[in-house]
Chain A
């Protein structure tokens, strides 16, 4: 049986809310400190190596998400180079994911 358009929208809305709750729940158990070793490993590389840092922004997550609405920001991931000459490149340095 083919689902009606409304049924599809209802399922998408419900699953979207489920996924959002699931993400928020998992992020809550994931500590930024867990990444310390990873950052250290990368910095040990050549001068063109890059560092990475994470922070969560779960507080910005909303409860509702109608069909196909843009996903709220859940993560912020930043990169910077270990080389001072490249550290102020600005545009390449950071990106919010989400």
Chain B
């Protein structure tokens, strides 16, 4: 990728995602591993004459962060425009509590928060060059068809063949499209819809990359050595990879309690991402294609029945989603954007059901939050899941 592409991505962040305007006040947070992202965005803000404060943070645990944050924030009474928070980390997602506490002093309708845990050249040069408007139309195209479907067949050129049952009345959908809501947090990179598969069986061939919620220097690309998993009733019963290192990694992950559960069915929609990158990141899973998240699920506590420390995404290149009775399958690599509004509560009210389909804006899978890799917190359910596997 070229310097020019990276710089264009910086501009796209400010223009397409933030919609920066004069009078905005920007708070720029960064960890040392993301110095470059912080520097590029700082330079772009300076060139535009936008006022900003930059705050360094140690990842995950930083006793002095709250104090530095408070010192950098404007007095609420002096804030005349929006308060825009941009944070950059490469592997972690730190200090959410301290940030929320600090922002509670400001009106929610004047806050915009964008956070990235995949800071890199590719974030700017590739992922951020797909605008929220474009991603929204693609996410809508998937949601408007799948939220009313119950049975799917998903296939890929690489050999994935899955039979899936959805229960959209029970399991929420998540749409990550980079669209900012005042007072909310946007996770970058954007471009994915996901839910929990009520039932799933078949074979999944991850021939693009994996993404794990741990810190690793390993090359996560799978385009040369795909991972194949066999799934029966929502659980991985066998796995294989010709690469010995990756096979050993899978052995370790999948023998950790809960990690053999399929916790997420995800569809990447970021059409600017083409080839896999070596870095463990969310960028790969936004690529148009199907991915399965093993381990931690994306539902509210109690809905699924287990909590897991590990979330491992196995990402395939592309995918065809066939809905019985539908004329055309959904081709994730040739998705036709929808002109319909992005659904928020897509299902018409059904007087016979109290359930309202919920589509949440946010991220679709396990993040490295303040506690990172939180141990399982429901021992009884964990034991139950383990006994069944």
Contact = CB atoms under 8 A, between A and B. Distances in A.
Q: Do A and B come from one complex?
A: yes
Interface of A: 3, 8, 11-12, 15-16, 18-20, 22-23, 26-27, 29-30, 34-35, 38, 42, 45-46, 48-50, 52, 54, 65, 67-68, 70-71, 74-75, 77-79, 85-86, 89-98
Contacts of A70: 36
Interface band, chain B: 35 or more
Interface string B38-74: 1110110011000000101011111110000000000
A68 B32 CA distance: 16
A76 to B, nearest CB: 10
Contacts of A23: 32, 35, 56
Interface of B: 3, 6-7, 30-36, 38-40, 42-43, 46-47, 54, 56, 58-64, 90-92, 121, 212, 214-218, 245, 248-249, 252, 255-257, 280, 309-310, 371-376, 379
Nearest to B58: A30
A27 B217 contact: no
Of A15, A54, A98, the most chain B CB neighbours within 10 A belong to A15
B64 A71 contact: no
A92 B252 contact: yes
B47 A11 contact: yes
A19 B33 contact: no
B43 A12 contact: yes
Given A71-B33, A75-B33, A89 B47 contact: no
B96 to A, nearest CB: 15
Contacts of A8: 7, 43, 47
A78 B218 CA distance: 13
